[in-house]
């Protein structure tokens, strides 16, 4: 076992059994590293949420673009955001990590710091995982386990014609950074001016409130881009939708800051905002726990998703999505 | 998204929502693919078990040595065996799979067939995962989620001085195949004569019975080899042990079949047998549900693990383990 791997296991073990958390809790992690499985205990009668996400070097990040802490932060944020999109509470994180033999220990330390800090910030603790030597590039697979009151998870399939469509925060900010990086303008992309790309925040608190107050009828996070993620809600719910172009909250990036193009707001991914629908009789505040909420359209009968521009003309909004958009 | 990846997702979705299983069950998978998370429901007041295991091409398997079905079978068996080692019941499997762009679809089909068949054989269903394109070689990360009556998981830390040490089945059979393959004798390694390597069976039923009858005080599966896995029990329990060399059940392999060397029985990994301890007053049958059980030694005070040979001489049994053994 290479040194980096051994130190990583020691670190995970230390974190997962750290003193300020009891080894046997009523809820949460009963036993972490040191057994064949981790034992988790959810509140009595709660459902368990599980989500898994790959983070591959060269596909999801580049070591010359992203600081190690950003890679760890983004890696776990993907999973935390999936828990948020169900209205759940993050409980535990499992990290499977394959590292190239020549990876500097300082990179691994930075990655773990970014990951653990972000997980704990949202109430989840590193509870286990696996390590291996990678023949080529960093491979991380993150599993986030959460819980939610029995039968109360907010699914993608609950939208009905007449529901309003809402999105939190702003869109396109993460994609704007990637476009700059791909254009070779790395120096003009400062992590703090493009924080939505380098250090995105999952909307865990917002998701919880939407569930508790029964405000959302369907929900998803915007990891693939609005056009793709809305298509998922429409497809799972068997409905169509109309989106107003002028209503889409476009991110501001850079310094001096400027608004991103509509195309990025429609198709750029990895913003980790919440996209949800609500019954017409539900009043949705303009801001929930400090997060702006925008109404961007409404659910229709049929299957088509239409984009309505300022002059009232309509065109079909095809799920071009983030991956496709970049090619 | 490459075709193989799209077909894989369609396949996972089909399997995880297949008709003969209700989409909303009282226990098990409430919703599988098609939402941000899978929603699992365990029996009321049960604990949740989670285990993750990497399977990397070139490290855990070679495409020229292992048929695709064997790779899928072994991949999920690693996780099922971890659930067995806690005395739990497998519930759901999550597969994160990164595939090289040029991988034949028939390989993916064989892999998925081996994986799904083996998971379902042990009561677990494919409930989700992630896919990506791999820049180099097949990368699979398998997560198996299980459940167990609250507080009843069998840990590694429960062994006490005086406990007997037992192992199921036989040891060294999987390692014997690897030695032959590494020596370039692929033709003499028929999967059916070395089934413990190509198609190992996790001892799920045995683990469940040991838990239900309260027979085992500590348990682990022999994935890393007896010397390493017993060292884990000893370290987590804060005890030492004595193992009788003559009592170790050595696997028979090949045709005509022959017994493997003691070294393989002591250090060869990936047999996925159960290694457990039992209080002195517990009567352990010689066979449980058809699986032979051998008493191989007993737990002692102290920290050392000693190997006692036929003439009574003792030497320290160091945790050389499988990975180290191969180098």
Taking a C-beta distance cutoff of 8 angstroms, is the pair B98, B89 a contact?
no
Q: β-strand B38-41 against B46-56: which pairing, if any?
A: unpaired
Q: For residues A308 and B4, give the distance between their C-alpha atoms in angstroms, rounded to a whole number.
A: 35
Q: Is there a contact between B143 and A221 if contact means CB atoms under 8 Å apart?
A: no
Q: For residues B145 and B147, give the distance between their C-alpha atoms in angstroms, rounded to a whole number.
A: 7
Q: What is the pTM of this model?
A: 0.91
Per CB-CB distance under 8 Å, the chain A contacts of B236 are 34-35
Decide: residue B139, CB within 10 A, 0-12 exposed, 13-18 middle, 19+ buried.
buried
Which residues does B117 contact at the CB level (< 8 Å), separation at least 6? B73
User: Which pLDDT does position A222 carry in this prediction?
Assistant: 96
Residue B52 is nearest to which of A53, A130, A146, comparing CB atoms? Answer: A130
Residue A221 is nearest to which of B36, B38, B148, comparing CB atoms? Answer: B36
User: Which pLDDT does position B11 carry in this prediction?
Assistant: 65
Token digits for B21? 């299983």
How many angstroms separate the Cα of B256 from the Cα of each of A144, B180, B193, B253, B316? 49, 15, 9, 8, 34
User: Which pLDDT does position A51 carry in this prediction?
Assistant: 95
Residue B132 is nearest to which of A39, A59, A133, comparing CB atoms? Answer: A59
Residue B49 is nearest to which of A34, A39, A323, comparing CB atoms? Answer: A39
Q: Chain A residue closest to B55 (CA)?
A: A132
- Quick: pLDDT tens for B103-150: 999 999 999 999 999 999 999 999 988 888 888 899 999 999 999 999
**pLDDT beneath 50, residues of chain A:** 1-3, 18-26, 327
User: Which pLDDT does position B107 carry in this prediction?
Assistant: 96
User: Which pLDDT does position B327 carry in this prediction?
Assistant: 45
Classify the phi-psi angles of B216: left when phi > 0, otherwise alpha if psi is within -120 to 50, otherwise beta.
beta
How many angstroms separate the Cα of B199 from the Cα of each of A313, B53, B77, B194, B322? 61, 17, 9, 8, 18
User: Which pLDDT does position B64 carry in this prediction?
Assistant: 94
SS (H, E, C) A18-37: CCCCCCCCCCEEEECECECC
Window 257-316 of B: residues touching A by CB (8 A cutoff) are: none
Q: Is there a contact between A96 and B48 if contact means CB atoms under 8 Å apart?
A: no
Nearest to B218 by CA among B232, B198, B197: B232
Token digits for A107? 């990179």
Q: For residues A89 and B123, give the distance between their C-alpha atoms in angstroms, rounded to a whole number.
A: 27
User: Which pLDDT does position A154 carry in this prediction?
Assistant: 97
Q: Is there a contact between B96 and A54 if contact means CB atoms under 8 Å apart?
A: yes
User: Which pLDDT does position B28 carry in this prediction?
Assistant: 77
Q: For residues A148 and A161, give the distance between their C-alpha atoms in angstroms, rounded to a whole number.
A: 27
User: Which pLDDT does position A14 carry in this prediction?
Assistant: 61
Q: β-strand B28-31 against A274-278: which pairing, if any?
A: unpaired
User: Which pLDDT does position B27 carry in this prediction?
Assistant: 62
**pLDDT beneath 50, residues of chain B:** 1-3, 18-26, 327
User: Which pLDDT does position B312 carry in this prediction?
Assistant: 87
Asked if A10 is an interface residue toward chain B (Cβ–Cβ < 8 A), one would say: no
Nearest to A251 by CA among A312, A170, A166, A321: A170
Tell me the ipTM for this assembly.
0.88
Q: For residues B4 and B131, give the distance between their C-alpha atoms in angstroms, rounded to a whole number.
A: 10
Find the angle CA(A300)-CA(A301)-CA(A302) to the nearest 5 degrees. Answer: 115
């Amino acid at each position: 076992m290479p040194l980096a791997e051994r130190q990583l296991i020691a670190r995970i073990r230390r974190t997962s059994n750290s003193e300020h958390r009891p080894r046997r809790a009523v809820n949460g992690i009963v036993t972490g590293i040191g057994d064949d499985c981790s034992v988790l205990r959810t509140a009595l009668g709660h459902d368990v949420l599980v989500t898994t996400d790959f983070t591959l070097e060269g596909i999801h990040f580049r070591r010359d673009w992203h600081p190690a802490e950003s890679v760890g932060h983004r890696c776990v944020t993907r999973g935390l955001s999936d828990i948020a999109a169900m209205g759940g509470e993050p409980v535990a994180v499992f990290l499977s990590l394959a590292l190239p033999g020549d990876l500097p220990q300082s990179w691994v330390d930075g990655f773990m710091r970014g990951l653990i800090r972000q997980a704990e910030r949202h109430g989840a603790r590193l509870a286990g995982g696996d390590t291996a030597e990678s023949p080529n590039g960093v491979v991380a697979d993150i599993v986030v386990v959460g819980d939610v009151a029995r039968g109360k998870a907010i699914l993608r399939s609950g939208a009905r014609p007449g529901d309003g469509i809402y999105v939190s925060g702003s869109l396109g900010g993460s994609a704007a950074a990637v476009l700059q990086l791909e254009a070779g303008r790395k120096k003009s992309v400062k992590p703090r001016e493009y924080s939505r790309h380098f250090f995105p925040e999952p909307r865990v608190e917002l998701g919880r409130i939407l569930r508790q107050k029964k405000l959302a009828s369907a929900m998803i996070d915007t990891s693939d881009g609005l056009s793709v993620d809305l298509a998922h809600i429409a497809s799972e719910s068997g409905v169509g939708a109309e989106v107003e172009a002028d209503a889409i909250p476009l991110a501001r990036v850079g310094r001096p800051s400027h608004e991103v193009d509509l195309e990025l707001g429609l198709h750029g991914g990895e913003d980790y905002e919440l996209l949800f629908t609500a019954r017409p009789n539900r009043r949705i505040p303009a801001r929930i726990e400090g997060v702006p909420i925008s109404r961007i359209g409404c659910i229709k009968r049929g299957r088509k998703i239409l984009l309505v521009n300022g002059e009232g003309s309509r065109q079909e909004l095809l799920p071009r999505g983030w991956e496709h958009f970049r090619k």
